[in-house]
Structure 1
Amino acid sequence: CRLPEALFERLLCQTAIRCEEATNEAWLFHGRIVEMVDGWTLTMADTEENQEEYPQMKSQKPGCGFPMARMIGLFSLATGAINHFAIGPYTGKQTGETSLLRSIFDRLLRGRILLADRYYASFWLLAEGERRGIDLVARAHHLRKIDFRRGLRLGYLDQLVLYPKPQRPKWMSEDEYAQYPDSIFVRHLKYKVTQKGFRTREITLATTLLDADIYTAEELADLYSRRWLVELHIRSLKTQMQMDHLRCKSPQMVRKEIHCHMIGYNLVRCAMLASALKFGLFPTRLSFTGAMQAIEEFASSLRLGSIHPQQQWANLLEVISELTVGNRPGRQEKREIKRRAKNYKLMQCPRNPNRNRYATAA
């Protein structure tokens, strides 16, 4: 493919904008757009070019693994569309999820809310969001000791505390370090999650939404419970869109292949949004897999030309509206796979160019 990489970036941006333009006001959080961030990994064809830019895991011998890349994506909570993403090597300096997020932080528009897990609740991201007018809602970092007997009390297990600026990390320059404030205000709140058949769990959130009268603890707890949707969106990309292992043999083509998967993903989301708006539904209650299968059938019937395209489009939206998923809040499942692995040994040394070395002489 000789098309420039910038063209694919522009197409992905346009599909994300079209999805955002169709957003219903009822799907927002206090009239604000919420974006979810999370990371994942993928593998690609084992070529020298891919290995040079996205090396395989160091624990694997050369020729016995696949090039691996780390990615993060920004998904819209209201529409499920992916707005931006970043990709980098799996290991090495500045290749973590927070580093990738900082590389695309300037693409987040002022006034938005970023929903993330505890890995992103660091001083640097909280302060960066405050500088750019972006609020963060995340689970409190597991290394931070939180004492609700201190700070300004906003309610029961709801407090306002001061985060002092840590020492300058090695990856940050002195000029960048000087741009951050000496301290920031952060709100902590703790709530319990009760589910029948499971032990009661306590979750502590850290957020820059400081006004407890506007953003109540119950609303923030409900907002964070919807963060699980980003895991489902990533699963749709890796499983339904088959983006778990890429086939292209050069890094440039790999990135184009990723863009094509995400453009197709957003186009499916556009059809789901059109169906949700027409029948008064929430997009999160519609099945992505069912919508994708319905679109494939729609494309087949469109090629036959037996029905008028407008009638086919109306039928497609009606079919998508009927393919709903259950509302199962608090659902928990182990990370298990149903398909059994084949009983073959793992490769411990690279393949010999002489592939017939075990053949007996005639």
Structure 2
Amino acid sequence: MFIEFGMPVPGRGSVRAFAAGHLGELTQIIRPALVDEALELTRRVQRRTRKLPARVAVYFVLALSLFGTDGYLGVWAALTAGLGGEDVAPSEAALRQARRRVGSAPLAILFDRLKGPAAKADCSGAWWRGLRTVAWDGTGLQIADTPETAGFFGRKISCHGPGSYPALKLSALVECGTRALIDVVFGPHDTPEPEQNAVLCRSLRPGMLVLADRASDGYPLMCKAVATGADLLWRIQNNRSLAVIHTLPDGSYLSMVADVRGRDRLRYWARHPRPVPPQVEGVAVRVIDATVTATGADGSTRTGTLRLVTTLLDPDAYPAEELITLYHERWEAETAFYGLKVTLRGSGRILRSRTVDGIRQELFGMLVVYQAARRIAADAAAETGIDPDRISLTVTLRTARLTVINATGTMSEHDARPTPRIRSAVLHPRALGPARRRTRIWPRRIKRPISPFAYNKSKWDKPMRKVTITSEITPPTTLLTGRSGP
């Protein structure tokens, strides 16, 4: 039996014990019935009515992510501030024990229910020529330094020695248009990124166009991704030698990505060409070699080379110039990581949990809150017909915190009312981002460092503003491209 918000459980106590089981207007996405389902599936429902029932403990974990700078009692005060009446007033020890009773399994199921694309068919900026643009990438998260967490997740090792905090490796498949999380996998920091990306292939579907950087340059991963029916647009190493099987009118060319044996056969054919290429089992790709030039307002220029491979083989249906421009959308995955690690968690902060299961629980709580915020933003953008990129995650989370403190939007499960405060806040003209953002080729930097020590200026200290970026496709001149070519 699932418990509605604000309803008593027959034979288990009063309504008051469940009053703190809410998350403001985010409760309309993270519904009580959804939480109860996760608790039922993992057998974490309390056997008797406690001061802190299991559902309340789950919402408390989610609130820990939303109020990341507050302690346990401060987060509890935020959950109960707008409820009125007599406060349960649990101790920090009681809240900590409630977290342990629930564990990480219900939060994992909760995220599994909420993850996925958030863009509808008419969503602006989420589609390109009928394909849903998605991207995957990896990042690291620092965690509390305890023998248990350090032994399981490990530390980063650099030329300066081991890192000050243990860290975990997280890889995510992100919808570029809304920055919603389609799937996530995480583990010890030394887990290879292609290994985690191979797990993310479980969420790829036909009709998706996957954007990826050079970390995904590998035949086994490419085969697994193509087998899902999704299309690929990946950047690969410039020095990787590829056989030119057929040159296309737009300057791109057809090639084949194969295993070691097939690659050697293609290289031999390229060095000793015959009318018919050898029959090789692999992935047919279209290769685009381009030179990208950034020109500043003062006439200064910077150039770089870009090599893309795609399974979209038709140059007329999928122009190469548009694919070069589209590849920039891959950085939406980095923006999603910024929203998760900085906007939500807080800059310079680590995960507070001190056990492995606590880390898993806290991280899944962050992912659930982030996904709920992105879904609300995507729905608001769809109603008004604007690009979801213009909606601020900062404003979304700030307003969500206010609705938690005021206990607004915590109506019953069958109340279909929307989340008016968050939507009106994110759609306010002053909160919306510009329809067209200016081009930047270097991130923002502080003018004056906080540290009192000397500031070591880099050779790129002079930024380029108001740049114009152009690209020029470089047709192949030999049958074997890359540095190892003849």
Please give the range of the TM-score, normalised by the shorter of the 2 chains.
Answer: 0.7 to 0.9
Residue equivalent to 2:137:
38
After TM superposition, the structure 1 stretch with the greater mean CA deviation from structure 2, 97-106 or 331-340, is 331-340
Residue equivalent to 1:24:
122
Q: 5 Å matches for 1:74-153?
A: 74-91=173-190, 95-145=191-241, 150-153=244-247
C-alpha RMSD over aligned residues: 3.0
Amino acid at match of 1:199: R
Residue equivalent to 2:376:
271
Q: 1:111 to 1:65 in 2, by over 3 A?
A: same
Amino acid at match of 1:43: Q
Superposed displacement of residue 183, structure 1: 2.4
Rounded to whole Å, the distance in 2 between the matches of 1:79 and 1:86 is 19
Rounded to whole Å, the distance in 1 between the matches of 2:289 and 2:330 is 17
Rounded to whole Å, the distance in 1 between the matches of 2:356 and 2:452 is 30
Contact 1:298-1:312 at 8 Å conserved across structures: no
RCO higher in 1 or 2 (8 Å CA, sep ≥ 6)?
Answer: 2
Q: 1:4 to 1:33 in 2, by over 3 A?
A: farther
Rounded to whole Å, the distance in 2 between the matches of 1:32 and 1:10 is 28
Amino acid at match of 1:278: E
Amino acid at match of 1:224: Y
Identity %: 24
Q: 1:21 to 1:193 in 2, by over 3 A?
A: closer
Aligned mate of 1:204, from 304, 307, 310: 307
Residue equivalent to 1:353:
none
Unaligned runs of 5+ in 2: 1-98, 263-279, 454-486
Rounded to whole Å, the distance in 2 between the matches of 1:251 and 1:336 is 35
Larger radius of gyration: 2
Q: 1:143 to 1:99 in 2, by over 3 A?
A: farther
Superposed displacement of residue 24, structure 1: 3.1
Residue equivalent to 1:281:
386
Contact 2:399-2:421 at 8 Å conserved across structures: no
Residue equivalent to 2:316:
213
- SS of residue matched to 1:213: coil
- SS of residue matched to 1:33: strand
Residue equivalent to 2:441:
332
The one-character-per-residue Cα deviations of 1:125-150 (angstroms, maximum 9, x if unpaired) are 22222222222211122441358xx3
Contact 1:41-1:68 at 8 Å conserved across structures: yes
Number of matched pairs: 321
Contact 2:119-2:378 at 8 Å conserved across structures: no
Residue equivalent to 2:425:
319
Does 2:288 match 1:189?
yes
The one-character-per-residue Cα deviations of 1:143-170 (angstroms, maximum 9, x if unpaired) are 41358xx3311223211012231269xx
Contact 1:37-1:114 at 8 Å conserved across structures: yes
Q: 1:72 to 1:99 in 2, by over 3 A?
A: same
Superposed displacement of residue 234, structure 1: 0.6
Contact 2:376-2:423 at 8 Å conserved across structures: yes
Rounded to whole Å, the distance in 2 between the matches of 1:195 and 1:186 is 28
Residue equivalent to 1:174:
none
Contact 2:118-2:375 at 8 Å conserved across structures: no
- SS of residue matched to 2:178: coil
The one-character-per-residue Cα deviations of 1:209-250 (angstroms, maximum 9, x if unpaired) are 212222111321222111122111111111011175111111
Rounded to whole Å, the distance in 1 between the matches of 2:141 and 2:148 is 16
The one-character-per-residue Cα deviations of 1:174-199 (angstroms, maximum 9, x if unpaired) are xxxxxxx8322111113443433142
Superposed displacement of residue 25, structure 1: 5.1
Under a length normalisation based on structure 1, what TM-score does the superposition of the two structures give? Answer: 0.78
Superposed displacement of residue 21, structure 1: 6.6
Contact 2:250-2:315 at 8 Å conserved across structures: no
- SS of residue matched to 2:285: strand
Amino acid at match of 1:328: R
Contact 2:238-2:306 at 8 Å conserved across structures: no
Amino acid at match of 1:319: A
Superposed displacement of residue 269, structure 1: 0.7
The one-character-per-residue Cα deviations of 1:86-112 (angstroms, maximum 9, x if unpaired) are 112222xxx111111113322323442
Contact 2:194-2:216 at 8 Å conserved across structures: yes
Contact 1:38-1:74 at 8 Å conserved across structures: yes
Rounded to whole Å, the distance in 2 between the matches of 1:335 and 1:120 is 27
Amino acid at match of 1:274: D
Q: 1:139 to 1:61 in 2, by over 3 A?
A: closer
